[in-house]
Structures are given as C-alpha cells and as structure tokens.
A and B are shown apart, each in its own frame.
Chain A
C-alpha cells in the first residue's frame, strides 16, 4: 500500500513539477485516455519492475498498456520482423543500441524531434538532455536525429576473489599484461584463474577492452573511414592475450561460455578473476544467489598501453515508424525514462543501470547499490563519456559475428592471433564493401 502511495506521489510530482515550472503551458497527460498502447520489451534486469510502474502510467494517463516481454534473443528477431514488415503491431519498443543504425537508415523507426518540439506532446524543458548520462544518450542518435530515449546503461567490471589473490600475495592486476601474469600464477590453485565470454559474437563485449587497450581498432577512422584496421600487430597481440587467458587459464567451457556461464562460475566459487557486466554485480553480492559474497571484490578494468577501455552499451525505448498511436507512445517513452520513474524502478527491483545522472547522487540509491567503495562512481564515469566502444553501423551485426569467430578460433587454438587478424580483416572488408560503405 505504502509503495502504491509512493508511486502515485511520484507521478503527481512529475505532473506538478511541469505545471510549476511552466505555468499553464504543460502537456495534458490524459489527452489519449481510452487508448491502448502495445509495447514490446525484453526480460532483462531493467524491466524487472516495469509491470508495477506501468500500472501508475495507466492511472496517470488513462491509457491501457499491453506489454509483451520476450527473451532478449527472440525479442530482437520479433522486433526486426515487425519493423521490416511495417506491421504497426507495436507502438513502443525496448531496443538495444547496436541495432539502431540499420533500422534508422531503413526508415523503420520514428525520429523524436517533432515530439520534443510539439507543445502538445512535450512541455518545454520537460525532457532535459543534460540530465541523462551522455554515453547512452549518444547511442540513441543516428545521422543527427534522435530515435530513442535511454533506459539502461551498462559497463563492465573486474571481479576477483580477494582470498585467492591474498593467498598468493598478489594485488588485482592493473594492466592487461599483469592480468596474464596473475593468471599464470594462480591458475588451478585451487580454481581456474579466468572467466570471460568465449562464445563467438557475445565475446566482443569483453574482447574490445583488450583490442582497444592494446592499441587496435576495428575501423581506420570511425565513422569517417570505415575500412577495416584489423590486420595489425596490436590486433594480433590482443587476440593472442585473450586467447591465452581463456585457453590456458580459463574455466572449463570457456570457448562457448556466455555471460550466464561466466557469472554462474563466479557465483559458485569456481573462478578467480572475471570481466563481465557490472549490472550483474547484484547477483554476485546477493547471499541467496552467490557463495562468494564475502570473498569477491571489485576493481577497475585492467588497462593496456593504449589506456583503459571498459565496455559500455545502452538500451532504450523507441517508436516504430508504422506505430498506430505515436503520440500516446511518446507520452510513455518520456514518462518511463524520466528521473522519478527510473528511480522508482531501481529502488523496487535489483537494477541500478539507470540513465538519469541525478539518481547516482540519491542517498537511498547509493545506500542500496554502493556494492564496493567507489563502485557507483566508476560505473557512472564509464557510462557517462562520449567515447565509442561499439562502433555501430548498419553492418555491425555481421562485423561482430566475424570478429567474434576470429576470437573464438584463437581461444581454441585453431589460429594464431596474427592469422586470425589477417583473416578477419579480409572478412570485415568484404562485409563493409557489400554494405556499400566503399567500392
């Protein structure tokens, strides 16, 4: 009951804040009362608390929400088919930022500027871009248009077993080369040293940290020169290190492991050092789901000669071009990405990867999610920059797959880093040529 009152209060606060700030010049939240919105979402941590807040949205607007939550992989396929066919079955979609360029260039999704400029849709100043963490917001844009508002910002963390490193008299590795050395010293004493994604495709989430750290790049000069830049000594070295870490010192099954296997290994006390998504820390430090809550610690991602490059990506909400009720959809998007609603979702569920900067300063939020000293500060810093981690473009899915296979081939020892770099360079060149980036 108390939660319900709090949510209603949050919604009213949002409404009153708009009124107070802009006199009578505010949006009528009930202008689409009686409308039904069809929304596609994924079963991801961000949306754990979505059903509860959706009820508040229905109460605020009189709009009925029908929410379909899919497993991420299946949902992305449904999404692309619905968008490509222009079915108009969904008015709002949750999406992963790397999918945006192809959809935007195909004209399948709606630019949001017209809603931002429309006084009937947005109270002036109501959607404050400066309030969002800037990295995720930048991933919502393509070709100078805004296509979504960010709802989730993820980065990676370095998890390690402090008891095992202490036992060997070692500090957590600060550099990539040190990580290799520490892995050599602690492997199988008493557990495998390293857990990271090996499965082709998903492994790019962590491999790019090594590629960029060693000074490599996927493209010559993203986004100006999209020719591949993978046939280099830096790429070869990054591949060799990543391959050696998982082949020689990795937990069993590393070659086909995705994030779930890696995190389960860590939670069950079967691996000593892990680079994985920082939002998953809530699993590792949950005594009901983890055996290592007292012995696991967090550190910065190891850096290479070319710096530290923690992963980052974003999820957001968009409106399909074929949507039937775009104006009502816009009300939903700006509402669910607003500070109060994001704070509510974070406090109600185990999800802290919010995209409204101010929430990171909220004492209640800090108390709940400051898992280790400096954890939230590092997290915010990693997702708040404008650096490029995924150099997204319309052919990025194919490039991810090709580079992921190259990494996988080095992990199992089929290829050396140098051979894999040369082969994947040719493959990416063919992909980019076929996608029309150059002749």
Chain B
C-alpha cells in the first residue's frame, strides 16, 4: 500500500476517536471556559452577560473562596500524610508476613471497596454526638467525649480519620505490589553484604519502590479533592465553612445556580491539578531515566 493510502486509512481510524474525544472532553471544557467568563446566575434574568475575568477576580477577593482554599489544604495534606504513612506501613507489614497474610490483605482492603457515600454515613454514625461509639470508647478509658461536628478542628479531624480509613488501603495495595516486584536477588545480595532490616528498607526497598510511592501520592492528591461525598454526608461543609473544600464550594455554587462562579472554580481546580499532574509525571520520567 502507498504512503498516501496508509495515511487515508490512518485518518479514517483516527477521526471517530477524535470526534468522541472532542465531544466528551474539549467541548465541555470550552463551554466551562465560556461560562466562567460570564456572570450567569440561572435564576437572575439578564445576568448571562460577558464580564471577562471579573468572576475570577471576584473569587480571588472572596473570603469564602480563600477559606475554602485553606480548608482544601488542611483536608488534603492531613489525610494524604496519614494515608501514605499508614499505607506504606501496612504494605511493609504484609510484605514481611508473606503469603500467610492473605486474610489480613483482604481485611485491610475492605474499606477501599466501600463507596465514599457509605463511608461518610458510617463515620457520621460512629461519631454522631448522641450515639457515638468512638465517644463511648473514650468514656470507658476516662477521656471526655468529643463534639466531633461542633468545632472546626474536630470536624476536620473527623474527615481526616474517615478519609484515612477509606483510602490508606489503596496506598497499601500499590506499595505492596511495588515491594513484591523487587527481584529476590537484590535482597539476597544485600544479605550477603551484611545489610540488616532497616538498611534493607532504606537502601534497597525504599529507592526501588519510590516511583510507586510517587504514583500513589499523585493518585491520592488528585483524588483528595474527591473527598466531597464524605464532607457532604458528615459535615455539610461546616461548621462555619471549616470543611468546605474548593470542590464542595463549586458544588454549592452549582446548586445555587451561580453557574459562572462554579465554572470558574472548576477551571481553577482543573488547571491546578493538571499542572501538578504534569509535574509529577516529569519527576517520574526523571526517576525512570535515573534507574535505567
């Protein structure tokens, strides 16, 4: 077949994919950009007019948006830190336990199989002021019960606990897979060279598993903003907006039909996460090149 014939076939194969991609991704993004440059509140007649970047500027000046950024930082950094620490620790535990730990692996994985809305309901009940099992446990050991949804700090702690419980197993699973992919020869060589437990972890396992940890971290950071179902169920963004992360704010704006502001927030989230994703991808590439 001639080169031009191959090119025609190539185009025929690519066009449907291109159209689907355009319809499903580019068109919605373009529409969101268009929406964000207007001042459209669905229930306010005449509000659908072009205002340029005024919506963005108003957002950046808004105390509520700044507060939601602060909440986002809290409710991303804290849960992810705990998820990474707990996930890596569990992976290490299961790795050393070997095949005997099969039941434990299944048990540890269970929380990650539960839909986020159910996780939210579960923890809402566990921490609910009047029937809190956790508070009952506190009382049994002489600790004062906590009003989990009554103060900003306690509500953030509640979300952190629920998110860590739900998603640490995901980190555990990835890191465990990474650990199990390390060739046995490396461990044997390390043993021959006299390396002990902690030395094996820091000099063999950690460097080789680091790319997997980066991937897990990337997934968790991107996914941290999907903590919305937990917040929706457990705190409703309160008290006083202390658990209102940016995507919950966007959701609130949509439900109030403030379409342009919601679109602007969504785009800011999209750009931030895309930039972060590209950064992590470049770090991973550098790592792979270094290993190669």
Chain A contacts to B: CB under 8 angstroms: 77, 80, 84, 102-103, 105-107, 198-200, 251-256, 258, 264-265, 268, 270, 394-395, 397-398, 401, 405, 408-409, 411-412, 414, 423, 434-436
Which single member of B238, B255, B256 contacts A256 (CB below 8 Å)? B238
Chain B residues near A199: list those with CB within 8 A: 236, 238
Assess whether A80 is in contact with B257, with CB atoms less than 8 Å apart: yes
Chain A residues near B152: list those with CB within 8 A: 412, 414
Stretch in B19-27, B36-44, B212-220 with 4+ CB within 8 Å of A: B36-44
Assess whether A411 is in contact with B257, with CB atoms less than 8 Å apart: no
Assess whether B241 is in contact with A397, with CB atoms less than 8 Å apart: no
Assess whether B257 is in contact with A256, with CB atoms less than 8 Å apart: no
Closest to B155 in A: A256
**B76 proximal to A (CB < 8 A):** no
Chain B contacts to A: CB under 8 angstroms: 39, 41-47, 63-64, 128-130, 145, 147-152, 155, 235-242, 252, 255-258
Closest to B241 in A: A405
Assess whether B130 is in contact with A256, with CB atoms less than 8 Å apart: no
Chain A residues near B241: list those with CB within 8 A: 200, 405, 408-409
Closest to A202 in B: B236
The 5 closest A-B pairs by CB, nearest first: A102-B43, A252-B129, A255-B239, A253-B129, A408-B240
Assess whether B41 is in contact with A253, with CB atoms less than 8 Å apart: no
Cα–Cα distance between A77 and B237 once the two chains are bound (Å): 19
A253 and B44 contact, Cβ closer than 8 Å, known pairs A200-B240, A408-B240: no
Which single member of A84, A401, A411 contacts B256 (CB below 8 Å)? A401
A253 and B238 contact, Cβ closer than 8 Å, known pairs A102-B44, A412-B151, A436-B44: no
Closest to B237 in A: A200
Chain A residues near B46: list those with CB within 8 A: 436
Assess whether B43 is in contact with A255, with CB atoms less than 8 Å apart: no
Cα–Cα distance between A264 and B149 once the two chains are bound (Å): 16
Assess whether B252 is in contact with A401, with CB atoms less than 8 Å apart: yes
Cα–Cα distance between A423 and B64 once the two chains are bound (Å): 11
Chain B residues near A77: list those with CB within 8 A: 255
Which single member of A80, A252, A411 contacts B239 (CB below 8 Å)? A411
Closest to B42 in A: A84
Assess whether A412 is in contact with B240, with CB atoms less than 8 Å apart: yes
Chain A residues near B39: list those with CB within 8 A: 434
Q: List 16 A-B contacts (CB under 8 A).
A: A198-B238, A200-B240, A251-B129, A252-B150, A253-B147, A253-B148, A255-B239, A255-B240, A256-B149, A256-B155, A394-B44, A397-B256, A398-B256, A405-B241, A412-B240, A435-B47
Which single member of A252, A253, A394, A401 contacts B43 (CB below 8 Å)? A394
Closest to A402 in B: B64
Cα–Cα distance between A268 and B128 once the two chains are bound (Å): 14
Closest to B130 in A: A270
Chain B residues near A270: list those with CB within 8 A: 130
Closest to A252 in B: B129
Cα–Cα distance between A80 and B259 once the two chains are bound (Å): 13
Closest to B238 in A: A256
Chain B residues near A258: list those with CB within 8 A: 236
Chain B residues near A434: list those with CB within 8 A: 39, 41, 47
Cα–Cα distance between A435 and B257 once the two chains are bound (Å): 13
Chain A residues near B45: list those with CB within 8 A: 105-107, 394
Closest to B46 in A: A436
Cα–Cα distance between A150 and B130 once the two chains are bound (Å): 37
Chain A residues near B63: list those with CB within 8 A: 423
A435 and B238 contact, Cβ closer than 8 Å, known pairs A252-B147, A397-B256: no
Using A252-B145, A253-B130, A412-B242 as known contacts, list a sample of 4 further A-B pairs with CB atoms less than 8 Å apart, ordered by residue number in A.
A80-B42, A102-B44, A255-B149, A405-B241
Chain B residues near A435: list those with CB within 8 A: 41, 44, 47
Assess whether B240 is in contact with A395, with CB atoms less than 8 Å apart: no
- Give the one of A395, A398, A412, A435 with max B CB within 10 A: A412
Closest to A200 in B: B238
Cα–Cα distance between A102 and B257 once the two chains are bound (Å): 11
- Give the one of B43, B129, B145 with max A CB within 10 A: B43
Chain B residues near A254: list those with CB within 8 A: 150
A253 and B64 contact, Cβ closer than 8 Å, known pairs A199-B238, A394-B43: no
A268 and B130 contact, Cβ closer than 8 Å, known pairs A255-B238, A405-B241: yes
- Give the one of B64, B129, B152 with max A CB within 10 A: B129
Which single member of A264, A394, A409 contacts B130 (CB below 8 Å)? A264
Assess whether A405 is in contact with B240, with CB atoms less than 8 Å apart: yes
Assess whether B150 is in contact with A265, with CB atoms less than 8 Å apart: no
Q: How far is the CB of B239 from chain A (nearest CB, A)?
A: 3
Q: How far is the CB of B172 from chain A (nearest CB, A)?
A: 31
Assess whether B44 is in contact with A395, with CB atoms less than 8 Å apart: yes
Q: How far is the CB of B209 from chain A (nearest CB, A)?
A: 40
- Give the one of B39, B238, B252 with max A CB within 10 A: B238
Q: How far is the CB of B164 from chain A (nearest CB, A)?
A: 21
Cα–Cα distance between A102 and B44 once the two chains are bound (Å): 6
Chain A residues near B155: list those with CB within 8 A: 256
Chain A residues near B150: list those with CB within 8 A: 252-256, 412
Cα–Cα distance between A105 and B42 once the two chains are bound (Å): 11
Cα–Cα distance between A411 and B258 once the two chains are bound (Å): 27
Q: How far is the CB of A424 from chain B (nearest CB, A)?
A: 11
Cα–Cα distance between A354 and B46 once the two chains are bound (Å): 37
Chain B residues near A252: list those with CB within 8 A: 129-130, 145, 147, 150
Q: How far is the CB of B21 from chain A (nearest CB, A)?
A: 26
